[in-house]
Every structure is written in C-alpha cells, then in structure tokens.
C-alpha cells in the first residue's frame, strides 16, 4: 500500500481493521512519507511502514519530466507510486504480491486464492474499470520486472508523444495512471496486463471459474457507497463496464450475507444467482459503513 501527502487518511483505520479481520497473519507493507511512519496506527494493526523515499530513483524523475506536472500533483503521485513500489519489490526481493488503493476493503483471506494467482498470471493482473481505465482496486504483481515493464512504457510513450499526443492517440478522457495502464494492456496484450474477473459473465469474466468470485475496480464500491462528491448509493458510471451492466439491468443488486464466522460479505445478486465480491473500492471514502 502507498500514501504520500501532508494529510494522513483517517479512513485507513477501517482499511487496516478489515485487512486484519480476514488476514490476521499476512505481512503488509505501507510505503509513505517519513513523517507518517511513526503513526501509531501501524503498530496497532501490525503494518510495516517504510519511508517511500528510500526507493526513489532517476526513473521517477524521468516520469515527472515527461508528464510535465509537479512531483506533488495528485496524478503524478498516483503514477510514480508504481515506480516506488517497483523499486521496493526489487530491493526486498519480493514476488507474487498484491497492491490496492487505500480506500479498498477486503472480504477474503488472500491465502485462499494465492496459488491460483501464481499459476494463472505470469506478469500483472488488474481490475479493469472501462474502455480507457484500469484501476488498482486490486492488482497482482508477479515481480518487480513485471511492474518495471509497465512503468517504462509510461515514460517511453510520454517522452515520444507528450501528454496531449498520448491523450489523442489512445482517446483518453485524461492522461493518468489508470488510462496509461489500460493503454499498456492494449499495447502489450493480456499476457503482460491481464484482467481479473469483475463480472461473472461476459467479456470481463476471464478466469471467473478459477476464483468463483469477482473483484471490484471501483464500480461496485460506487454502486454501494456512491462517489466522493455524491455519496448517494446506487452510482452506475456509464464509462465503467459494471456500471453499463447495472444500467441495463436495474434488477441486479448487491446483497450482504454472513459467513460461518459471522462476518458480513457482499454478493452480486443477478437472476437467481449470488456471487461473492472479494473487495470493495469505496470511492466515497465512507469505509466505516461497509466493514464486516
């Protein structure tokens, strides 16, 4: 996980609590500014906080120059975090890891599907939001080289075409890490950036049979909790694949069921079927409403 900025998100209390509810023993690393590493929340939930700047590299500077925005710009940070994570994975010699946004709630034990992830994906696997967006609602990273290939693509395409050129070339609404990741997937193919199942049917249900469950880019979280500006539940973004499906089928819904430990778990209910949702990307930041 990753955060950079003066303000430390209060909702991380719920993110971490939810992680530990389903994953009491996994190792969780959190890259952040040095000033935040002493926050007691990390001790409370046994999270390993590390100064992100230990993993700064010239590659980050290359991206910032090509992107032509300040280093502390929100969209610069969301992209360069992937390079920080790449450098961290290389330094710590880690592989087969998961990264997701800070406002994501997990509803399953990561060990449950860990072998399936390793056997199914050779490089990266991500939750794809729509035609021009891949989102780190959930991201599997095989190793640092898999991530390095993608971040180098970001730099190369921006250096060659400029921000405006990239926007026109790939018909993006704006150039950020979400649209750049989607462009990378289209250029390199699913072998290098594969799609996690976000629906149990249709084009974005690849490998659903492996997990027998689905993952949320940000769409299910917006449907349940609204978006950051409009927090009213029922949001169905027209540029999201899930949003398009929900608009076509107003009878589809999300329901909650208790597991054998009494924890609330979300399920996508359609027709006469209920399918487990492994995570919610809570765009509204009201995570406290949806913890288990």
Contacts of 250 (CB under 8 A, 6+ apart): none
Contacts of 57 (CB under 8 A, 6+ apart): 83, 87
* Residue 200 covered by a domain: no
Do 232 and 124 belong together in one domain? Answer: no
Do 33 and 135 belong together in one domain? Answer: yes
HEC readout, 167-187: HHHHCCCCCCHHHHHHHHHHH
How confident is the model over 34-78, as pLDDT tens digits?
999 999 999 999 999 999 999 999 999 999 999 999 999 999 999
How confident is the model over 85-132, as pLDDT tens digits?
999 999 999 999 999 999 999 999 999 999 999 999 999 999 999 999
Predicted pLDDT of residue 231: 74
How confident is the model over 218-271, as pLDDT tens digits?
999 999 999 877 778 999 999 999 999 999 999 999 999 999 999 999 999 999
Do 41 and 161 belong together in one domain? Answer: yes
Number of structural domains found in the chain: 2
Full residue range of the structural domain in which residue 161 is found: 2-195
Between strands 97-99 and 133-141, the pairing is antiparallel
Backbone torsion region of residue 223, taken as left when φ is above 0, otherwise alpha when ψ lies between -120 and 50, otherwise beta: alpha
- Boundary (domain end) residue, out of 142, 165, 195: 195
Do 173 and 238 belong together in one domain? Answer: no
Predicted pLDDT of residue 183: 96
């Amino acid at each position: 996980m990753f955060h950079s900025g003066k303000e430390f998100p209060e909702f991380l209390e719920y993110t971490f609590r939810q992680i530990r509810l389903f994953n009491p023993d996994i190792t969780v690393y959190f890259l952040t500014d040095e000033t935040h590493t002493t926050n007691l929340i990390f001790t409370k939930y046994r999270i390993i906080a590390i100064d992100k700047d230990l993993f700064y590299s010239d590659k980050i500077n290359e991206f910032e120059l090509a992107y032509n925005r300040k280093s502390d710009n929100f969209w610069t940070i969301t992209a360069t975090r992937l390079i920080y994570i790449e450098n961290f994975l290389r330094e710590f010699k880690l592989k087969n890891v998961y990264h997701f946004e800070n406002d994501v709630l997990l509803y399953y034990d990561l060990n449950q599907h860990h072998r399936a992830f390793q056997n199914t994906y050779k490089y990266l696997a991500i939750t794809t939001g729509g035609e021009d967006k891949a989102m780190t609602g959930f991201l599997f990273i095989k190793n640092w080289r898999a991530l390095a290939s993608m971040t180098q693509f970001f730099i190369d395409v921006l250096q060659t075409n400029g921000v405006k050129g990239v926007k026109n070339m790939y018909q993006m609404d704006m150039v950020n890490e979400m649209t750049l990741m989607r462009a990378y997937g289209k250029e390199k193919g699913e072998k290098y950036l594969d799609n996690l199942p976000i629906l149990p049917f249709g084009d974005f249900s690849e490998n659903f049979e492996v997990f027998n469950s689905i993952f949320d880019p940000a769409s299910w979280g917006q449907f349940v909790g609204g978006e950051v500006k409009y927090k009213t539940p029922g949001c169905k973004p027209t540029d999201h694949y899930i949003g398009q499906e929900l608009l076509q089928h107003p009878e589809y819904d999300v329901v909650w069921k208790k597991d054998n430990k009494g924890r609330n778990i979300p399920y996508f209910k359609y027709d006469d079927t209920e399918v487990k949702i492994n995570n919610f990307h809570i765009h509204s930041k009201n995570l406290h409403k949806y913890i288990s």
